[in-house]
């Protein structure tokens, strides 16, 4: 009987935990679906056309004409274009002398009385479903309530484009930790302006870490560092696996974007061998003796002084007959 009760309890516990897991999945799905949807339409409002807005928003209408959305031709857009393509039909807003509760606003997104971040994105996605919107639903930014207009600005001098501010400042607003790394001594030339975050990241995509590669992280690195591609006769497994095992792409204190200095970097996977022993005749035979100062000496040596072909080599090393895969030349 007792065992039966325990069994029943265990089965019950299992059912409950499965239900809980399914529950979280369902609520997560529910959340991401609810997140991106069109806002409720303003009751009774009809479309009045951009010229109707000019009566009271003359400056904005004039400036808008120069922007990419202001220059759209009819054939480029299904449905409405102009101011109301984003702000929704404006008749009630106009009839009520510019009542701001009767028009869709983007200046109070996520605040009480404002549209949600998901609703703000949905308005853009009506027309951008096929480019930026393709993978937006699973995008890490979307899942964290970042919206299109956190990065894009619609009403600004057309010469400035559509980004709120240039990279990387745009990204640093929210990614302070990455800014700190980019300022480390070893870094990709981002702060010199020769590279952008979006050289490696796709802002609208869903790959892990938003990386610009459908394949492995390694393939992304090899786009610009083809000399490390191989295949080599003598390969180094971690290099084949993922460059970021040893390198941090954003910046490091150690040289060469290395996550740690040598030999510590290498000692995560290897033992010290150099300087740690020496050979000495004992009873007429050459014996291996631990070197009392060995570790100290070896610790002060960079492994790549000898293993210079750390990414792979086509030439056998010569020191130990029959071995030769030491990545030394």
Q: Does 45 bind ligand HEC (CB under 6 A)?
A: no
The residue to which tokens 């220059």 are assigned: 71
Those residues with Cβ within 8 angstroms of residue 305's Cβ, 6 or more apart along the chain or in another chain: none
Which one of 39, 87, 216, 219 is in contact with ligand HEC (CB under 6 A)? Answer: 87
Identity of the residue, 35 or 103, whose beta carbon is nearer to ligand HEC in the bound complex = 103
Stretch in the footprint of ligand HEC (CB under 6 A) among 5-13, 110-118, 174-182, 287-295? 174-182
| Contact status: 119 vs ligand HEC (CB under 6 A) | no
52 binds ligand HEC (CB under 6 A): yes
38 binds ligand HEC (CB under 6 A): no
Q: How many residues bind ligand HEC (CB under 6 A)?
A: 136
In sign, the C-alpha dihedral spanning 82, 88, 93, 94 is: positive
Nearest residue to ligand HEC on Cβ basis: 98
In sequence order, which residues have a C-beta less than 8 Å from that of residue 129 and are 6 or more positions away? Answer: none
Q: Is residue 53 within 8 Å of 83, Cβ to Cβ?
A: yes
97 lines the binding site for ligand HEC (CB under 6 A): yes
CA torsion sign for 201, 206, 207, 208 is positive
Token representation of residue 229: 């591609």
The least distance separating ligand HEC from the CB of residue 318, rounded to whole angstroms, comes to 6
Name the DSSP class of 209.
G
Kindly tell me which residue out of 42, 92, 115, 132 binds ligand HEC, with binding defined by CB under 6 A: 132
Q: How many CA atoms lie within 13 A of 132 on its CB side?
A: 16
Binding span for ligand HEC by CB under 6 A among 12-20, 37-45, 281-289, 296-304:
296-304
148 is a contact residue toward ligand HEC (CB under 6 A) = yes
Q: Does 61 bind ligand HEC (CB under 6 A)?
A: yes
Q: Which stretch binds ligand HEC (CB under 6 A): 6-14, 15-23, 220-228, 281-289?
A: 220-228
Q: What number of other Cβ atoms are within 10 A of residue 265's Cβ?
A: 20
- As a whole number of Å, the CA-based R_g of the chain is 30
CA-based angle 126:114:86, to the nearest 5?
30
Binding mask 3-22 for ligand HEC (x = CB under 6 A): --------------------
CB of 240 to ligand HEC, least distance (A): 8
Q: Which residues does residue 170 pair with via DSSP β-bridges, in sequence order? A: none
**178 contributes a contact to ligand HEC by CB under 6 A:** yes
| Residue with smaller CB distance to ligand HEC, 264 or 280 | 264
CA distances from 230 to 103, 266, 286 (A): 59, 21, 40
């Amino acid at each position: 009987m007792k065992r039966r009760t325990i069994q029943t309890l265990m089965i019950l516990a299992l059912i409950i935990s499965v239900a809980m897991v399914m529950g979280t999945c369902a609520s997560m799905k529910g959340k991401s679906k609810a997140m991106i949807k069109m806002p409720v339409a303003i009751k009774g409002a009809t479309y009045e056309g951009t010229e109707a807005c000019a009566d009271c928003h003359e400056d904005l209408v004039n400036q808008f004409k120069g922007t990419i959305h202001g220059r759209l031709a009819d054939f480029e857009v299904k449905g409405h274009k102009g101011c109301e393509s984003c702000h929704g039909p404006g008749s009630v807003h106009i009839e009520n002398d510019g009542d701001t509760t009767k028009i869709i606003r983007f200046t109070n997104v996520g605040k009480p009385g404002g549209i949600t971040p998901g609703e703000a994105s949905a308005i853009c996605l009506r027309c951008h479903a096929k480019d930026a919107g393709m993978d937006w639903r699973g995008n890490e930014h979307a899942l964290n309530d970042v919206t299109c207009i956190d990065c894009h600005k619609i009403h600004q001098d057309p010469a400035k484009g559509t980004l709120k501010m240039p990279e990387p400042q745009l990204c640093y607003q929210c990614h302070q930790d990455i800014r700190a790394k980019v300022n480390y001594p070893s870094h990709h030339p981002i702060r010199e302006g020769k590279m952008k975050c979006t050289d490696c990241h796709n802002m609208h995509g869903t790959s892990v870490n938003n990386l610009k590669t459908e394949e492995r992280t390694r393939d992304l690195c090899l786009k610009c560092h083809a000399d490390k591609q191989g295949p080599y006769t003598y390969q180094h497994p971690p290099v084949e696996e993922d460059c970021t095992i040893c390198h941090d792409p954003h910046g490091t204190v150690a040289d060469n974007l290395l996550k740690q200095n040598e030999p510590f970097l290498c000692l995560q996977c290897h033992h010290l061998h150099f300087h740690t022993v020496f050979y000495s005749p004992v009873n007429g035979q050459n014996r291996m003796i631990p070197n009392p100062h060995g570790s100290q000496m070896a610790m002060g040596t960079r492994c790549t002084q000898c293993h210079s072909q750390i990414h792979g080599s086509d030439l056998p090393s010569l020191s130990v007959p029959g071995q030769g895969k030491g990545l030394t030349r």
